[in-house]
Chains A and B, each alone.
Chain A
Amino acid sequence: MSVPRRIGLRAVALFYLAAVLVGPLAMVFYRAFDRGAGHLWDSLSDPNAIHAFKITLILAAIAVPLNTVFGVVCALAIVRRRFPGAGIVNAIVDLPMALSPVVVGLSLFLLYGRTGWFGHWFQAHGVQILFALPSMVIATVFVSLPFVAREVVPTLREIGDEQEQAAHTLGAGGWTTFWRITLPAIRWAVIYGVVLTTARCLGEYGAVAVVSGHIEGQTETATLRVQDAYENFDLAGAYGISIVLAVMSVIVLVAMTFLKPKEATS
């Protein structure tokens, strides 16, 4: 390819990325430190902010392990056991990726609300689902469902089951085979999936916003807090939390880059 054309394409791509991604991100860092680091610290040590981070971390701590186990089990079922409907299960696992978070939130709202299907039952037993942690957990689990499964499935397919067959002929039972043969083979795919799942949990907004009720100090996640702060003209607060979230994202991004299964550049 001729040199001017090559440089031209490169310039287009880089400019696009700078305008859409890099520029805005840099701005947030700039703005957060605009009024000095001290101010930043104040807004971050606001008890509501700390609580919001706590909630976010709790949600992630529950959703990630659950979805990891589910993801691995599901991937194994889809790839290794030929059962009718495997295609449908595959599609259903992909569904959260195509659904809008508000739609997810609304569905949960309708299901567990006072007039919802399960709402009655929970109400009768005095268990609060909506506007409380349980619904937020369910919402987070839902939206971060696919990632581990989607990463593990192609890896499982690629390794093939010959190693497992060999293990069986050597006398290893189901669990031993899984633990010593299968799991080590897929561990990087699982780890990468976990990183993606965590990122999704940390970043979730729409579904949780609908079901949580935004109750300051109780059912606010970090992301909800950003919105809240901004709408209450607490710019410093909003930027402060965003910075922390952005830093966490960069860490996640670095992890993603190093753990990525395949080389995507020549």
Chain B
Amino acid sequence: MMYLSIVVVLPIAALVWASRKDGVHAFWTVATQPEAVAALKLSLGAAFLVSLVNAVLGTITAWVLVRDEFRGKNVVNAIIDLPFALPTIVAGLTLLALYGPQTPIGIDVAYTRTAIVLALLFVTLPFVVRTVQPVLLELDRESEEAARSLGASELRVFRSVILPNILPGILSGVALAFARAVGEIGALVLISGNLPYKTEAASVFVFNRIQSGDQSGAAAVAVVMLAISFAVLLAIGGLRWVATRHERA
């Protein structure tokens, strides 16, 4: 049974190694090219911003879906998964349709950084919502009642009882959203315009370099992105461990 996974794992491991190997000599010089640095900065910055927005709005959305009741709630709940189901390139196209040159509502942000943020918000939308929902569902409502009976205001109840318990969920979702945002390509290709130094994300930079034959340039930035992915995976595991230490007897 194990050999099947090895068949797939080995190529993955080899791939990882291959990409690192190729950039070995000129790696540092290539990786610190101004254009590469600008692209990485843009991706990281955008990912950071998007993660923050998701942390807040995603939690609110999860809250509304779990605690509120209104007609059509089930449909709304289903829509959350749309970014998982829709091809990213179509996502880019749809955003372009509404917020681009032929916008019907007067908002044209195509080929700007705003467009990048918008596209990333689309693709990362489900992450925090879906990680927070199950935690909210499992919350012991009686602890909230206990806090109220002890005199805590609603805000205090949220701060002292609810938030500490949903925080691990929020953090997991944020980490996933961050990783996704840094690596996203499909949604950005059409809408961001790919102007170097201005709206060229790291993923697009790599893509363009491959097209133009600069493999080492591409590989250098790709390795940095790889490292970020690993770091994020580790972070998720670590965060979960820290946040649940009070459950270990």
| A touches B (Cβ under 8 A) | yes
| A residues with CB within 8 A of B | 1-2, 5-6, 9-10, 12-14, 16-17, 20-25, 27-28, 30-31, 69-70, 73-74, 76-77, 81, 83, 89, 91-92, 94-95, 97-111, 116-117, 138, 141-142, 145, 196, 199, 202-206, 209-210, 222-223, 226-227, 230, 238-239, 242, 245-246, 249-250, 252-254, 256-257, 262-266
9 residue pairs from A and B, CB less than 8 Å apart: A9-B68, A28-B94, A30-B97, A73-B5, A102-B206, A206-B88, A227-B189, A253-B85, A264-B133
A77 touches B99 (CB 8 A): no
Asked if B48 CB lies within 8 Å of chain A CBs, one says: no
Known contacts A17-B79, A262-B134; 15 further A-B pairs (Cβ under 8 A): A9-B68, A20-B125, A24-B98, A24-B122, A73-B1, A83-B2, A95-B233, A98-B183, A107-B15, A199-B84, A206-B207, A227-B89, A253-B78, A257-B78, A265-B77
Q: Which residues of B contact A116 (CB under 8 A)?
A: 18
- Check B225 for interface membership: any CB of A closer than 8 A: yes
Knowing A9-B68, A70-B8, A77-B2 are in contact, say whether A205-B186 is a contact too (CB < 8 A): yes
Closest chain B residue to A111, Cβ basis:
B18
Nearest B residue to A238 by beta-carbon distance? B93
* Interface band, chain B: 35 or more
A249–B82 touching, CB < 8 Å? yes
When the two chains form their complex, are residues B68 and A106 in contact, meaning their CB atoms are under 8 A apart?
A: no
In the bound complex, do residue A245 and residue B184 qualify as a contact, i.e. CB atoms below 8 Å apart? no
Query: How far does the alpha carbon of A54 sit from the alpha carbon of B186 in the complex, in Å?
Result: 20
Instruction: Name A116's closest neighbour in chain B (CB-CB).
Output: B18
Which B residues touch A23, using CB under 8 A? Answer: 98
Q: How far is the CA of A189 from the CA of B225 in the complex (A)?
A: 32
The CB with the most chain B CB atoms within 10 A, among A110, A204, A257, is that of A110
CB distance A100 to B84 under 8 Å? no
Give the docked Cα–Cα distance between A46 and B9 (Å).
39
Contact (Cβ within 8 A) A117 B206? no
Identify the interface centre among B66, B87, B91, B185: most chain A CB within 10 Å of its CB.
B87
- Partner of A21 from B82, B203, B225 at Cβ < 8 Å: B82
Known: A27-B97, A226-B90. A20 touches B118 (CB 8 A): yes
Q: How far is the CA of A105 from the CA of B77 in the complex (A)?
A: 33
Instruction: Determine if A142 and B12 form an interchain contact, defined as CB atoms under 8 angstroms apart.
Output: yes
Let me know if B65 and A199 touch, CB within 8 A: no
Cα(A89)–Cα(B8), bound, Å: 11
What residues of A have a CB within 8 angstroms of the CB of B78 in the complex?
A: 253-254, 256-257
- Tell whether B121 is near chain A: CB-to-CB under 8 Å: yes
